[in-house]
Amino acid sequence: MISNQDFIQNLYDSFNRREIETVLSMIAEDVKWANGMEGGFIYGRDNVREYWQRQFEVLSPQLEILKSETDEKGRIVVTVHQVVKDLEGNILVDRIVQQIFTVENDLIKIFEIGETD
């Protein structure tokens, strides 16, 4: 079994390299995924794929893990430095944010966005 730290590092490394199918293989079919662009949630792996395809047509996000820990509910809480650029390289967002993962059966079941700086 892979450790939470290795799981999260692989997740973020794959996302930053735009290896979306690798990331999608780490989430449940019926995932509940926070929509960071428009608010609310996206439901289901296929809808997350479509969301990222739309996102990457206009934005270039990069995430650097600063800290990862497990909270009292067993969720993985990751503090990340998030830098989002437009396709011309202009910085649109540069902040620290918490991203929260509920993992069941070695797959991400829920992704939430927590506190920001």
pLDDT digits (tens, 9 = 90+) for 61-95: 999 999 999 999 999 999 999 999 999 999 999 99
pLDDT at 3: 86
Checking if the pLDDT of 44 tops 90, the result is: yes
Percent of the chain residues topping a pLDDT of 90? 91
Q: For residue 87, how many other CB atoms are within 10 A of its CB?
A: 10
Mean pLDDT over each residue of the chain, to the nearest integer = 94
Would you kindly state where each structural domain of the chain is located, as residue ranges?
Answer: 4-116
**Cβ-contact 24, 48 below 8 angstroms:** yes
What residue spans of the chain are helical by DSSP H? 4-16, 20-24, 45-58
Determine the CATH number of domain 4-116. Answer: 3.10.450.50
Question: Rg for the chain (alpha carbons), in Å?
Answer: 14
